[in-house]
A = this chain, B = another copy of it.
């Protein structure tokens, strides 16, 4: 039987996709910025990130040798070692370290999906590697867009469309959210950054002075690493 692929447009719709998740591979997508930053951190020598739901949990993990990272509403939170910007995850700062991370959308999605057979971390930085991984493992796939506070967003949808487009020949697709994502990717892929300039999160993001992070997060295939969430940690 062909592998099946579906797109979850928002964590608030996750309940509708839970049936049979134990046999599926879920790809967590939070392009701006949690999953891009996590992938970048692994590329730079980290091998252990614990996604937690609350800031206090992250701070408490300092006792166990973790750096504590927190983002809320697109900004780093005071008292923490770092936020959610890939800039904070350069090799000289994080190589060999462990990080406990909480973010507005992405880390929530990780925990929601934890009963899946596999939970992979996807971003444009490791796009082709994610595609190869889901093609090889033969499981049905859920592309899980973290969105923005429950709302649909363009950047996560486009990544879902990019993965689905690469898999369209081998996979069975009967899901409108995936069809829509593929068509949007087709429009956007020629100049992803220009296309995203109209996205609501991107506008919010620029108001916070995060232009450089946007340019960083739309880079494609700068690593082959696909971090995986299992036993409560991304490794």
Which residues from chain A sit less than 8 Å from chain B, CB to CB?
9-10, 12-13, 15-16, 148-154, 157, 174-177, 179-180, 183-184, 187, 198-201, 203
Q: Flag if A180 contacts B151 (CB, 8 Å).
A: no
The DSSP consensus for interface residues of chain A is helix
9 contacts between A and B (CB under 8 A): A10-B13, A12-B13, A12-B15, A13-B13, A151-B175, A151-B176, A154-B179, A175-B200, A180-B180
Q: Flag if B175 contacts A184 (CB, 8 Å).
A: no
Bound form: Cα–Cα A15–B12 in Å:
10
Residue in A13, A152, A153 whose Cβ sees the most chain B Cβ within 10 Å: A152
**Would you list the 6 A-B pairs with minimal beta carbon distance, nearest first?**
A152-B177, A154-B176, A153-B176, A16-B150, A176-B200, A174-B200
- Which of B13, B151, B179 is in CB contact (< 8 Å) with A177? B151
Copies of chain A in the complex: 2
The smallest C-beta distance from A19 to any residue of chain B, in angstroms, reads 12
Question: With contacts A12-B12, A176-B199, A179-B198 known, what are 15 further pairs, Cβ within 8 A?
Answer: A9-B10, A10-B13, A12-B15, A13-B13, A13-B150, A16-B149, A16-B151, A151-B175, A152-B176, A152-B177, A152-B180, A153-B176, A176-B201, A179-B199, A183-B183
Bound form: Cα–Cα A12–B147 in Å:
15
Bound form: Cα–Cα A149–B16 in Å:
9
User: Which residues of B are found within 8 Å of A174, using beta-carbon distances?
Assistant: 200, 203
User: Which residues of B are found within 8 Å of A180, using beta-carbon distances?
Assistant: 152, 154, 157, 180, 184
User: Which residues of B are found within 8 Å of A9, using beta-carbon distances?
Assistant: 9-10, 152
The smallest C-beta distance from A106 to any residue of chain B, in angstroms, reads 17
Bound form: Cα–Cα A174–B174 in Å:
29
Bound form: Cα–Cα A153–B157 in Å:
14
The smallest C-beta distance from A32 to any residue of chain B, in angstroms, reads 12
